[in-house]
Amino acid sequence: MSGPVKGGAQNVAQGVVHGVGLGPGDQELMSVRADRLIRNARHVAFFRKKGRAGQARRIVEGMIAEGATEHPMEYPVTTEIPVSDPRYNQILSAFYAECTERLTKLAEVGEDVVVLCEGDPFFYGSFMHLHSRLQVPVEVIPATTGMSAAWTATGMPVTWGDDVLTVLMGTLGEDDLVRHMEAADAVVVMKIGRNFEKVRRALTRAGRAEAAWIVEFAAMPQQTVRKLAEVGDGVTPYFSIVIVHGQGRRP
């Protein structure tokens, strides 16, 4: 096994929790290691909204071995409570602690567990909240990020030469978004959610709206790529990423 594995020598008999990056949504963009781990897993865990199949689970449809045990981890809240509300962190903290306990119990009896992670496990993903709590061996499998698939879908390089790329969350305040957008050469805005109009206003204030693109469902069958200026209503915010390409030094 390559790469650092969490847990000490006293845990060698324990199973390993694998945080497996699935990439942006196309099975063909997964790594060979991710494909192998998923197809051979006896236990597969994944996050999802209550009542939904889950995006991570959808990505691996047809890959999970017959007889494998699936462990859905259902978020107790998503957008019902504002992120700024103290209850949001309290509820999610208890949820992640419960998920960690479930995975730990499997590992302690020698079972390996694959945790499906959309995009890259260490890039704004829910798996990070498990990783920081787990005290059993953990291996993380990196992956292509959703933003990489998004800028590739535009058919243009996102950075040139010495361009500075800034990755922003749509949950930031509008003034903060404007400040970062003005300072950056290239911009990616993720986690747009209900903040789409705020992001568009910030891009306009920063003088970047005309150069912005929006990619929905990057690397998925229903992918769309449009200039932001041409977009009215009907955006699917959860699966949208905004791109402003850098125009820096080149030969």
Specify the DSSP element, H or E, that contains 132.
none
Q: How far apart are CA 103 and CA 127, in angstroms?
A: 12
Q: Is the Cα dihedral 29, 33, 39, 44 positive or negative?
A: negative
Higher pLDDT among residues 45 and 51, named by residue: 45
pLDDT at 205: 98
Q: Where are the domains of the chain?
A: 12-144, 147-244
Kindly indicate the confidence band of residue 19, based on its pLDDT and cuts at 50, 70 and 90: very high
In this prediction, residue 86 has a pLDDT band, given cuts at 50, 70 and 90, of: confident
- The pLDDT tens digits of the residues spanning 87-146 come to 888 999 999 999 999 999 999 999 999 999 999 999 999 999 999 999 999 999 999 999
Strand blocks (E) in 131-239: 138-141, 165-169, 186-190, 212-216, 224-227
Nearest alpha-carbon partner for 12 in 155, 92, 110, 100:
110
Residue 10: is its pLDDT beyond 90?
A: no
Is pLDDT above 90 for 227?
yes
Q: Which pLDDT value is given to residue 232?
A: 80
CATH class of 147-244: alpha beta
- Domain 12-144 in CATH 3.20.20.140: no
Residue 80 has pLDDT above 70, yes or no: no
Average pLDDT, the chain: 92
Burial of 154 (0-12, 13-18, 19+ CB in 10 A): middle
The residues that bridge with 168 in the sheet, in sequence order, are 189
